[in-house]
Amino acid sequence: MGSRLEQAQVIPKGILITMKGEEVDIISKLPDNLIHEILSFIDTKYAVQTSVLSKRWKNIWVSLPYISVDWTSFKKDIIYDLGETLCKFLTFVDKVFEFHDDSDIQSIKLGCVILDAISVEALNRWILAAVNHNVKDLDISGSYLHDSAYEIPHQILNSISLKSLIIILLGDCFGGTNIILQKSMSLPQLKTLWLAGISISNLDLQRLFSSCPLMETLFMQKCDVQTSNQRNIIIDSHSLQRVRLFENRYTHLGLADHTFTCTTKISAPNLMGFMCTGFMTEDCPLENLSSLGYARFDMRLTKEADETAQTYFELPAEEKEVFARRMMKFVGVVRSVRHLTLSSGFLEVLLQAPGILDRQPPQLCNLGTMKLGMRFTRGCIRSIAYLLKISPIITTLILVSEEANLADVEDDWDAGFPLTCMYSHLKFIEIKGVEGCDNELKFLRFVLKNSMVLEKVNLFFRSTSDSLDGGRQIRRFKRNLRAMPTASSSIKMNFL
């Protein structure tokens, strides 16, 4: 028994214990359902290998409710033959489904590469097998290198058992994989939908959303949504609770350069969490979000740009104004959030529209924690001061500094900026990436002067502070900081 365990190399050490001078295999004595749970943590390729351990293990794998196979586990060396490796992978997965008994399969995760029509046929066989075994969670991830669009089998798009569907199919050179959906779709139990790397028509996408009446979680990552006449992507759901949009692209088939400004409209009264990583050139109106508790906006100018403070400084005035109004609109519709995360680009443009400070500001009345990527520039510092002002009960502020050696911020950075209130709830501030510059001191002087109940300030210094000059700068920074007047009488400073 011991030697067979060593040969398999998939059962963890320590399952053999000595009792009265005899070795006892405690895992083999467990019921099947617990062994299945243990095997769910490893690739099914290795779970199948446990069949050589003993008669007890011979048929355990044929009733596995969790199947997870990745084609990379069939690579022998760093240098390998892709065709040969995929052939072994396809044959193995076929055998897994062929020998599986009639019991249900709860979860199937397949990491694959689709090269040709043979690979497509194999994938469709596996999807059909998944449906026949009443699969609840299906995850298909990998690369789609075939030159034809992939038509998703109608069986999986009409599954009555499916609760989670993940389709991640990166095309050649990481382009989008063209996806074709069936005209008839019904996913009455689906709660999680994750799409990544695919190219899909807007109409098909709307039909897919409509076929999922219980959908709670939607992830769309680097998808290409194609349209010929509609400029609106609409997500309207009463069941939706979490949405994440990550660097999706919108292609207009009627335009020569295929690019245009698209609007993604989201109306979800039960939405609790919203995350958007995208570009300021796109609009994303949010409506009816009274339940929203967490929001994150990671906004950039373009996908390729290596953005710096100078990038934003050099933006044309008209672009700054458009982006500022768009970002301010985001702030206005997430007024119910308790946790808010914003990117440095968001802060750079937030207050750049003329007259924006003269308007009645939105109020983030429930906001308790705010995490901000930032640069210690005039634009970012003013935006942070503004956000603190409209967040009357905020207790925690976390800043992550992204750029060093910036131009000095003028002492009158708050000129024309209405600061009519103290921060009566702010207790904790954390700043990561501190370099010990004057801009940081100016910001901290402002915060310390206006925070009545501040208890703790954690400052994490950059690694460059270990140099001789950096060390002198940090020591001077600490002295100046300790000498500053504070509104709170009990602040603990931690230099980390």
Do 297 and 270 fall within a single domain?
A: no
Q: What is the pLDDT of residue 456?
A: 98
Of 37, 63, 89, the position where a domain reaches its end is 63
Does one domain contain both 261 and 322? no
pLDDT at residue 435, rounded to an integer: 92
Beta bridge partners of 299: 278
Q: Based on the fold, state whether residues 208 and 327 are members of the same structural domain.
A: no
Answer for the pair 439, 376: CB distance below 8 angstroms, yes or no. Answer: yes
Name the domain boundary from 227, 256, 285.
285
CA distance 160 to 144: 27
Give the separation between CA 493 and CA 496, rounded to whole angstroms.
10
* Boundary-marking domain end, from 235, 259, 285: 285
Instruction: Give the max Cα distance, the chain.
Output: 85
This prediction has a pTM of 0.85
pLDDT at 411: 81
Task: Judge if 219 and 335 occupy the same domain.
Answer: no
**Residues facing residue 193 across a β-bridge:** 165, 218
Q: What is the pLDDT of residue 5?
A: 35
Whether 241 and 338 share a structural domain: no
In contact, 389 and 397? CB cutoff 8 Å:
no
Q: Are residues 86 and 55 in the same domain?
A: no
281 and 360 co-located in one domain: no
Q: Which domain holds residue 207?
A: 65-285
Q: Across the 496 residues of the chain, what is the mean pLDDT of every consecutive 10-residue run?
A: 39 46 65 83 87 78 93 81 91 95 96 94 97 98 92 97 96 78 95 96 92 97 80 84 89 50 80 92 78 93 79 90 91 93 95 84 94 94 94 97 85 70 92 94 94 97 72 91 94 94
131 vs 109: CA distance, rounded Å = 13
Q: What gap in Å lies between CA 458 and CA 444, rounded to an integer? A: 12
Q: Which pLDDT belongs to residue 157?
A: 97
252 shares a domain with 229: yes
pLDDT of residue 164: 98
Q: Are residues 29 and 125 in the same domain?
A: no
Handedness of CA 315, 304, 387, 294 (dihedral sign): positive
Q: So what's the pLDDT on residue 9?
A: 41
Pair (214, 337) in one structural domain: no
Residues 233 and 179 in one domain: yes
DSSP letters, 31-100, are -HHHHHHHHTTS-HHHHHHGGGS-TTTTTGGGG-SEEEEEGGGG--SSS--HHHHHHHHHHHHHHHHHH-
Q: Are strands 339-342 and 396-401 parallel, antiparallel or unpaired?
A: unpaired
| Same domain membership, residue 463 and residue 349 | yes
pLDDT attached to residue 262? 65
**Number of domains observed in the structure of the chain:** 3
Please tell me the distance from the alpha carbon of residue 396 to that of residue 374, in angstroms, as a whole number.
16
